[in-house]
Amino acid sequence: MTADRRAVLLLLDGARPDVFAHLAQAGDLPNISRHLLEPGGWAPATTVFPSTTGVAYLPLLTGCYPGTCDVPGIRWVDVTRYGGRWWRDRAHVRSYCGYQGGLLNADLRPGIASLFDLVPDAVGICTPFNRRLGPGRELAGGARKLWGGLAHYTAGYGVLERAVGRALCRAVAGRPGFIFAVFPGVDGVTHFHDPWHPDVLDTYRGFDAIIGQYAQAGGFDGDHLTFLVSDHGLSRMDRHTDVALELEAMGLPTLRHPVVWRRDPVAAVMVSGNASCQVYLRPGVTRPARHDVAEIEAGAVPGIPGDLIDRLVALPGVALVVGTDHDGVTVAGREGRATLRGEGDTIAYLPDVADVLGLGDAATRADREWLAHTLDAPYPDAPTQLTQLFRSGRTGDLVVIAEPGADLRSDWEVPEHRSGHGSLIADHMRCLAAANVPLQGPVRTVDVFPLILDWLGLEIPAGIDGVVPAVAVRA
């Protein structure tokens, strides 16, 4: 490790790059501008799919996509083990939103290292992922549970934000090699409003004031790499389509949260970030692998109508339904279908019937070229993101993706979310990536991990998804 170098990763959960840019240009973020944007800058950036809190933290800390991490959503079913028994099998149906939250640490695929493993004195603040953070290295965990729980219902995130800020100022005094600090306020407050609501803008300004206190505490002294990132954007939701209720209306008994038990279900719906969900067919019958599109459409899954994919695509608020075929991924939209096939470092996009991802004609490109090519497309980084997700056996047979303005949960959402995330649309996938050194974009959030290790002079593990883009950081 390079002596005296420090890296700090500040996560402004749910910050939209356009809202951030608007405030910065208006002079409303003076501390961030002075300490980060003036010496460094920001780059166009994308997060992972599903674009949801917690799941989208892991790529920052491990350099790996959700599919690689084997954590494919905020809720999922392990179909290899779930046998349909409410009590005995409850551990095989996951939701990180309740008492199973801590399992995020254990669910990470064995062998994947996080920055908390690789930087010996790393500190985590207000982070739901805290694997191997020993005594004194995890801060504001209690405040996260107490105030985060209350704030979810009251929009009173200011107390929690300030507690994280104080912990950050305390932590920097010890000069640890790495600090990860989560500021949940922007995400939390935006859920109650529109991304441009005055209360949301005040939350960004409040964060800037905390950065001012952090600067006074010496946070920007010495040889440091400081990243300011978000895990996803958010957008206004005016339509709620509950896929589980729609399946029930089709006569398909469906397992869903919060009860997570249903007698003889033929489907399970697991919602992530509310604007995408994963559908598992015959969830109570253990099986080694997912049902692919051909099998479903041949009517070979007992109890499941062969036209299920077309029925799901036709639901209001649904943009895409995605499943696997024998050697690739099928993407169904209202206008038709396209196929993605990965081979080595390239992905082929074959809009067989329709250009459902809005990428133009059939093309085969390297993974990194797809990122640049799709940055301003309706679904940024879609070829790579839809391919990575199915690496996990815990991903559903079908993935349902909401269109702009819609989410996929209505029945039991308390309080109702007026804005949300979790989808593959640009407002959710485009995220914030700023640093105190010039960044060469576009970057993905998985690139932050190797960039930090590179800066600290630590070895980058083999097999991760992130890369250090050429001339990314001027050391």
Looking at the Cβ atoms of 309 and 431, the one nearer to Zn ion is 431
| Residue number with CB closer to Zn ion (58 or 252) | 58
Is 419 a binding residue for Zn ion by CB under 5 A? The answer is: no
CB-based closest residue to Zn ion: 53
- Could you tell me the end-to-end alpha-carbon distance of the chain, in angstroms, rounded to an integer? 15
Site string for Zn ion, 141-180 (x = CB under 5 A): ----------------------------------------
Q: Which stretch binds Zn ion (CB under 5 A): 227-235, 304-312, 345-353, 393-401?
A: 227-235
In the complex, the smallest distance separating the C-beta of residue 186 from Zn ion, rounded to whole angstroms, is 9
Helix 17-25 and helix 198-216, axial crossing angle in degrees, nearest 10 = 70
CA angle, 348 then 354 then 357, to 5°: 60
Smallest distance, Zn ion to C-beta of residue 88, A: 33
Number of chain positions touching Zn ion (CB under 5 A): 5
407 belongs to the binding site for Zn ion (CB under 5 A): no
The single residue among 10, 13, 140, 211 that binds Zn ion, judged by CB under 5 A, is 13
Q: Judged by CB under 5 A, which of 138, 231, 292, 295 binds Zn ion?
A: 231
Q: Is 53 in the site for Zn ion (CB under 5 A)?
A: yes
187 lies in the binding site for Zn ion (CB under 5 A): yes
Q: Which residues between 336 and 365 bind Zn ion (CB under 5 A)?
A: none
Report, in Å, the least distance between residue 355 CB and Zn ion.
Answer: 30
Shortest spacing between CB 153 and Zn ion, in angstroms: 17
DSSP-assigned beta bridge partners for residue 198: none
Q: Which is nearer to Zn ion, 13 or 292 (CB)?
A: 13
Q: Does 138 bind Zn ion (CB under 5 A)?
A: no
Question: To the nearest whole angstrom, how small is the minimum distance from the Cβ of residue 410 to Zn ion?
Answer: 21
Least distance (Å) from Zn ion to the CB of residue 102?
18
* Interface residue list for Zn ion (CB under 5 A): 13-14, 53, 187, 231
